[in-house]
Amino acid sequence: MAEKPQPAHVLYCQVCGLPAEYCEFGPDFEKCKPWLVRNAPDLYPDLIKEANDRDADKAADQLQSTAISGDGGGVGPSSRSGNTAASKPEEVKRLPGGKIKKKEKQEIIIEKIVRNKRKCVTVVKGLELFGVKLSDASKKLGRKFATGASVVKGPTEKEQIDVQGDISYDVVEFITNTWPDVPESAIFFMEDGRKIPAA
């Protein structure tokens, strides 16, 4: 007589077999959810909301992924990394003794090296930081200045381009014309251990 009032008609879940109102305590509430949404929405109003939210999320995800895959056609990794260098403030740290501490940042270093009295080499470093393929750049430099140019490993194992002869006076213009992603402000000459802006 003092029993809890029971609903006259108990709705049993077709998934777990419990009365629908106990599904959330059942073994696999997740599996019950779709059935409950359809057959007992009054018992679980939150589920309806949850399902709607999930659909909204899914739609948003789809939108996002179409936007991403639509960019660039999705063929191969895009190696464009320019654009930001121009706005970065210049920071050159000098160690005691005037040596420049080089940070790994987006810049081109051009250095004229006289290997012996007659032989001069213009070294171009850093083009790869702007997404330029060094083998390609080396060919273009050799053709443009009608000289030998090759990709070699520098003293720090980093690849650089060695161009035979002194091309330092024309090379900046050639670089900025050939690779518009490289701003002139990112190009420096190395002279006697000092870094001198080309711009």
Minimal CB distance residue for Zn ion? 13
Secondary structure of the chain as H, E, C letters: CCCCCCCCCCCECCCCCCEHHHHHHCCCHHHHHHHHHHHCCCCCHHHHHHHHHHHHHHHHHHHHHHHHHCCHHHCCCCCCCCCCHHHCCCCCEECCCCCEECCCCCCEEEEEEECCCCCEEEEEECHHHHCCCHHHHHHHHHHHCCCCEEEEECCCCCEEEEEECCCCCCHHHHHHHHCCCCCHHHEEEEECCEEEECC
Which of 6, 8, 9, 15: binder of Zn ion (CB under 5 A)? 15
Question: Shortest gap between Cβ of 48 and Zn ion (angstroms)?
Answer: 16
Query: Among residues 23 and 151, whose Cβ is nearest to Zn ion?
Result: 23
Site for Zn ion in 65-124 (CB under 5 A): none
Q: Between 15 and 137, whose beta carbon lies closer to Zn ion?
A: 15
Binding flag, residue 186, Zn ion (CB under 5 A) = no
Specify the pairing of strand 108-114 against strand 187-191. Answer: parallel
For residue 23, state whether it binds Zn ion (rule: CB under 5 A).
yes
Rounded to whole angstroms, the Cα distance separating 190 from 118 reads: 20
Per rule CB under 5 A, is residue 32 in the interface with Zn ion? yes
Residue 13 or 141 with smaller CB distance to Zn ion? 13
Q: Which stretch binds Zn ion (CB under 5 A): 15-23, 51-59, 70-78, 95-103?
A: 15-23
Q: Which of 9, 10, 11, 16 binds Zn ion (CB under 5 A)?
A: 16
Q: Which stretch binds Zn ion (CB under 5 A): 24-32, 42-50, 74-82, 120-128?
A: 24-32
Write down the least CB distance from residue 25 to Zn ion, Å. Answer: 9
**CB nearer Zn ion, residue 35 or residue 174:** 35
* Contacts to Zn ion by CB under 5 A: 13, 15-16, 23, 32
